[in-house]
Amino acid sequence: MLEILYRLLEGPEIGRKKEKSEWQSKKGEVMDRNPGRKKRKATVDKEKVQGLRLEKTVAKAKRAFERYNRDPDYRFLHDRVSDLFAELLRSDMESYNAGELCKISLAAKWCPSLDSSYDRATLMCESVARKVFPREGYIEYQDIEEAHYAYKVRNRLRREVLVPLHKALEQPEVYICASKRKYLPYKRVPSVAMKVYKKLFYMHDKERFEEYLEKVKSGKSTIAAGALLPHEIIKSLDDETGPEVAELQWKRMVDDMAKKGKLTNCMAICDVSGSMQGIPMESRSP
């Protein structure tokens, strides 16, 4: 629905225009081999560029404001989208503060960031912020000017809602619920969480998980291993899910060690006596 609002304001060809602009920019970089010209372009008056950018931003905000006031259908859609975001974000913050990460929705993921292209074109963040932090519900907003109120609640939305929820969405526990598994970014799963949850990944999201592992093998993606000790990785080789994850985590650990420098003037010693079997700290009785 946010995309519909955006295209109503920017036009249905906005995606193609952006692609064309990027292509022309790359084309110009390839064709322009004159170092003097590049240098002159780099010294273009920054204040002029910033002024033009500000004018464009103001024009977009004015267009969104006027469309909202004169078009009841657009206003209805805009209000329903902002209502939905505000309701979900309030609920998500309650779950976040209660430590119930599995109940957090993906609203913060899809809500536009402040001053993003979607926000500048639709003024969505201000609408959402006003509903999450209504003037009548907070005494500190009672007597301040409208523009100052809008500024403060927008900033508060970013600081107290979007930032912590974005951080929470990096935790795999948020995606363990069945409705959100397909959105789990495996590349961001910490090493210990990967070790703990890999059985669930194979069971409930096998196709995506195996595709991710293939990307790791080919070097197109990465897997975390920093928080695991060598014996922890080796121990997981015997897991019922197989050795694939452990092999990739071991390779990552070795690669990370190699980047820190080579081992010199040292000797590797391994004690294979019976007393070394198992992990004493884990098997010791209280």
**Would you say residue 34 lies in a domain?**
no
- pLDDT surpasses 60 at 125: yes
- DSSP conformation class of 152: H
Question: Which one of 104, 139, 169 terminates a domain?
Answer: 169
What is d(CA 77, CA 127) in angstroms, rounded to the nearest whole number? 12
**Would you say residue 199 lies in a domain?**
yes
Q: Are residues 221 and 86 in the same domain?
A: no
Looking at the structure of the chain, the number of domains it has is: 2
What is d(CA 118, CA 231) in angstroms, rounded to the nearest whole number? 48
Q: Are residues 159 and 199 in the same domain?
A: no
Nearest to 122 by CA among 131, 112, 132: 112
Question: Which one of 130, 146, 169 terminates a domain?
Answer: 169
Burial of 115-139, coded b for 16+ CB within 10 Å and e otherwise, reads eeebbbbbbbbbbbbbbbbebeeee
Radius of gyration of the chain (CA): 26
- pLDDT surpasses 50 at 27: no
Q: Are residues 160 and 228 in the same domain?
A: no
**Would you say residue 29 lies in a domain?**
no
Assess contact for 102 and 177: CB atoms under 8 A.
yes
The 10s digit of each residue's pLDDT in 82-117 is 999 999 999 999 999 998 888 898 899 899 999 888
What is d(CA 65, CA 73) in angstroms, rounded to the nearest whole number? 14
**Would you say residue 221 lies in a domain?**
yes
**Would you say residue 268 lies in a domain?**
no
- DSSP conformation class of 160: I
What is d(CA 67, CA 81) in angstroms, rounded to the nearest whole number? 15
The 10s digit of each residue's pLDDT in 238-250 is 888 888 999 999 9
Assess contact for 205 and 213: CB atoms under 8 A.
no
Q: Are residues 189 and 89 in the same domain?
A: no
- Give the model's pLDDT for residue 35: 56
More confident residue, 250 or 42: 250
CA triplet 185, 155, 169: central angle to 5 degrees? Answer: 15
Q: Are residues 146 and 195 in the same domain?
A: no
Where in the sequence is the domain holding 209, given as residue range(s)?
181-260
Assess contact for 70 and 61: CB atoms under 8 A.
no
**Would you say residue 273 lies in a domain?**
no
The 10s digit of each residue's pLDDT in 8-25 is 888 766 654 554 554 455
The 10s digit of each residue's pLDDT in 194-244 is 988 899 899 888 999 999 999 999 999 999 988 888 888 988 888 888 889
Q: Are residues 164 and 187 in the same domain?
A: no
